[in-house]
A and B are shown apart, each in its own frame.
Chain A
Amino acid sequence: MSNTRAPAVEARRLVKTYPGGVTALNGLEITVEPGTVFGLLGPNGAGKSTAVKILTTLARPDSGSATVAGHDVLRHPDRVRRAIGVVAQNSGADPVATGRDNLRLQGRLYGLRGAALDRRVDELLERFALSGAARRPVKGYSGGMRRRLDVALGLVHRPEVLFLDEPTTGLDPEARTAMWDEIGRLAGEEGLTILLTTHYLEEADRLAERVAIVDRGRIVVAGTPDSLKGELRGDAVHVELRTALGESGRALLEGALGGLPGVHEVVFDGPRISVRAEDGAAAVPALLGALERAGAAVATATVARPSLDDVYLRYAGRRYAEAEAGSGTAADALVLAGGAR
């Protein structure tokens, strides 16, 4: 039905504003190649969930267009719904019903019947290690079991494109690792395209072949995790001061570091300074020396290989954890406007 060479997901200039003037998406563009895992990365409130809601036909954008599995989400939502599996943040398995009953109902809604339905349900229960709990009500499940059931619900009709919205949020580390393994296995399956949203940098780094960083409703950068980290060239040296530097201190420091070989860039972020250097360890003594001359008291200094956190800092101009904390007000406004979340 759909041309296999066409993108599995394509979004063009998506804009969505909630009542009350909260802009959730501001011209978002993404392209996901078929058979790949694509990570949409960003802090809470950046617009990831809104993007997923539009791509899964739940919400309508104010403007822009999108196709999923070759079907237009606005013109042919029914065709899109047949082609996709959705694992939302709360995917709402019925707590009073058993795991098996939840799966059976989900399968029936996609038109599975009789022996085919029984077979598929058993297969999924087995695969997600839920066979033993299949006849127990879902309200007695652990967080990890519930999440596995959610993923199984999304896969019941063998979708072409699977949406995983924050698949490991709220899971303990052990359950999270298990879920990562499971998603990794899914990704290897013939032809399945996965669009994953996450606010864990580590998660995107580990699972996604391509990532796009969303900040304030737009994509700020996209590429493979390695290419994004590669663009940063070299190590990151992070120094945290007891107090932020003044203008003159900054100028002095920039002057001192600018002369060093292999130092590419210096980013000031409050009391934190991030320096990118070919050889991080070698840059540390010079950096600390310059800071001492500037009269700044150093609290911590670390050298790290480039991470997606550094990519985020570079493109969104803020440190990731800070954007997370700062997104509180926007997220709250969304809760007020959107009701459910």
Chain B
Amino acid sequence: MSTAIVQTWYMTQRQLMVFARQPAYAVITLIQPVIWLFLFGSLFKNVVALGGFGTASYLDYLVPGVVVMSALASNLWAGMGTLEEIQRGTLDRFLTTPASRAALMNGNVVHNGIVTALQSAVIVLLGLAGGAQYPGGFVGVVVLVVASVLLGTVFGALSNALGMLVRERESIIGVNTFLLLPLTFLSSAFMAPDRMPDWIRQVARFNPLDWAMVAGRSALSADPDRGAVLLRCGALLALATAAVWLSIGTFRSYQRSV
């Protein structure tokens, strides 16, 4: 067990090093959140007048939505990295060593988690710079970051599993295009649930993206609903565990097909 943990750390380190050596990439991944935060934020500034947002500033409402949406957007591409490692022969090289299979996959998970946490923290700070207020304070921010990391883990692991199983870029691009916007708009990212059409509100209740946003938003508010936060984070943790377990299982099917 301890070797698996040590090996997970080696694999994480390896990927963090790649990330650290490409600083431009880290900046580029922040362009989209900035657009959502400030363009969307100004465009729909007056929407809070409708009521039900729980805040007088739309930016306050928007920050958790953009944090979670960005976590989804970046983790959906995790499978591309896996695919590249397969094509380059790196995965096969590791698979012929005694390295634990779980460590190989969990290295990705931990790395993506760290990157998602950094990205989320930067967006929170950008929001702060733009005038957003977080009455929930530091603890609230931590809850939001944890929720977005868990959500990212769910979709990152699924994307890895997809990369292992289909081994085509096109499939990953297709699935991502198909999922990103519907999942985002069928959630409370931009609009208060009370102001949504009923059917969207019902769908959003089953959307893990919405769980992460609601948990984060509640934790950042002046009066967090602990029960609601714990319930949603617990559900995200369960989903994330299942997704990681599934992705480790794809090594078996990979072994059959090579």
Q: Which residues of A contact B (CB under 8 A)?
A: 18-19, 53, 56-60, 78, 81-82, 84, 86, 88-97, 101, 105-106, 108-111, 137, 153, 337-340
- Contact among B14, B17, B98 with A82 in the assembled complex (CB-CB below 8 Å): B98
Q: Are B17 and A101 in contact (CB under 8 A)?
A: yes
Q: In the assembly, what is the distance between CA of A195 and CA of B20, in Å? A: 38
Q: In the assembly, what is the distance between CA of A88 and CA of B99, in Å? A: 17
A91-B89, A109-B98, A339-B258 are known contacts; what are 9 more A-B pairs with Cβ within 8 Å?
A: A53-B258, A91-B93, A94-B90, A101-B17, A105-B10, A106-B97, A109-B94, A339-B167, A339-B257
- Contact among A19, A58, A338 with B95 in the assembled complex (CB-CB below 8 Å): A58
Interface residues of B in 172-222 (CB under 8 A from A): none
Q: In the assembly, what is the distance between CA of A94 and CA of B18, in Å? A: 9
- List B contacts of A101 (CB < 8 A): 17
Interface of A is mostly: loop
Q: In the assembly, what is the distance between CA of A86 and CA of B99, in Å? A: 14
Q: Are B97 and A110 in contact (CB under 8 A)?
A: yes
Q: In the assembly, what is the distance between CA of A95 and CA of B91, in Å? A: 14
Q: Are A59 and B96 in contact (CB under 8 A)?
A: no
Q: In the assembly, what is the distance between CA of A57 and CA of B258, in Å? A: 11
- Contact among B10, B18, B96, B255 with A96 in the assembled complex (CB-CB below 8 Å): B18
- List A contacts of B17 (CB < 8 A): 96-97, 101
Q: In the assembly, what is the distance between CA of A57 and CA of B252, in Å? A: 12
24 pairs, CB–CB < 8 Å, chain A vs chain B: A59-B256, A78-B98, A88-B93, A90-B88, A91-B92, A92-B85, A92-B88, A92-B92, A92-B93, A94-B14, A96-B21, A97-B17, A101-B17, A105-B14, A106-B97, A108-B10, A109-B7, A110-B97, A137-B21, A153-B93, A339-B86, A339-B167, A339-B258, A340-B89
B170 shortest CB reach to chain A, Å: 12
- List A contacts of B94 (CB < 8 A): 109
Interface residues of B in 217-258 (CB under 8 A from A): 255-258
Q: Are B22 and A92 in contact (CB under 8 A)?
A: no
A169 shortest CB reach to chain B, Å: 13
Q: Does B87 contact A (CB under 8 A)?
A: yes
Given A94-B18, A96-B22, A339-B86, A60 and B167 contact (CB-CB distance below 8 Å): no
- List A contacts of B10 (CB < 8 A): 105, 108-109
Q: Are B18 and A97 in contact (CB under 8 A)?
A: yes
Q: Are B14 and A60 in contact (CB under 8 A)?
A: no
- List B contacts of A19 (CB < 8 A): 257
Q: Select from chain B the residue with minimum beta-carbon distance to A153.
A: B93
- List A contacts of B256 (CB < 8 A): 59-60
- List B contacts of A137 (CB < 8 A): 21
Chain B, interface residues (CB within 8 Å), range: 20 to 34
Q: Are A18 and B14 in contact (CB under 8 A)?
A: no
Most B CB atoms within 10 A — which of A57, A82, A96, A109? A109
Q: Are B22 and A340 in contact (CB under 8 A)?
A: no
Q: Are A340 and B18 in contact (CB under 8 A)?
A: no
Q: In the assembly, what is the distance between CA of A338 and CA of B255, in Å? A: 10
A78 shortest CB reach to chain B, Å: 6
Q: Are A92 and B89 in contact (CB under 8 A)?
A: yes
Q: In the assembly, what is the distance between CA of A339 and CA of B21, in Å? A: 29
A333 shortest CB reach to chain B, Å: 14
Q: In the assembly, what is the distance between CA of A79 and CA of B14, in Å? A: 25
B228 shortest CB reach to chain A, Å: 43
Q: In the assembly, what is the distance between CA of A106 and CA of B89, in Å? A: 14
Q: Select from chain A the residue with minimum beta-carbon distance to B20.
A: A96
- List B contacts of A340 (CB < 8 A): 86-87, 89, 92, 167, 258
Q: Are A88 and B92 in contact (CB under 8 A)?
A: yes
Question: B1-42 vs A: 1/0 string, CB under 8 Å?
Answer: 001000100100010011001100000000000000000000
Q: Select from chain A the residue with minimum beta-carbon distance to B90.
A: A92
B173 shortest CB reach to chain A, Å: 16
Question: B159-172 vs A: 1/0 string, CB under 8 Å?
Answer: 00000000110000
A167 shortest CB reach to chain B, Å: 14
Most A CB atoms within 10 A — which of B10, B89, B91, B96? B96
Q: Select from chain B the residue with minimum beta-carbon distance to A339.
A: B167
Q: In the assembly, what is the distance between CA of A105 and CA of B14, in Å? A: 8
A95 shortest CB reach to chain B, Å: 8
Given A92-B85, A97-B17, A108-B10, A338 and B96 contact (CB-CB distance below 8 Å): no
- List B contacts of A92 (CB < 8 A): 85, 88-93
Q: Select from chain B the residue with minimum beta-carbon distance to A96.
A: B18
- Contact among B3, B85, B96 with A57 in the assembled complex (CB-CB below 8 Å): B96
Given A105-B14, A338-B257, A58 and B92 contact (CB-CB distance below 8 Å): yes
Interface residues of B in 90-110 (CB under 8 A from A): 90-99
B169 shortest CB reach to chain A, Å: 11
Q: Are A81 and B97 in contact (CB under 8 A)?
A: yes
Q: Select from chain B the residue with minimum beta-carbon distance to A86.
A: B96
- List B contacts of A153 (CB < 8 A): 93
Q: Sort A-B residue pairs by CB-CB distance and give the 5 closest, nearest first.
A: A90-B89, A92-B89, A92-B90, A339-B167, A86-B96
- Contact among A59, A86, A105 with B258 in the assembled complex (CB-CB below 8 Å): A59
Given A59-B258, A339-B257, A340-B258, A81 and B98 contact (CB-CB distance below 8 Å): yes
A233 shortest CB reach to chain B, Å: 42
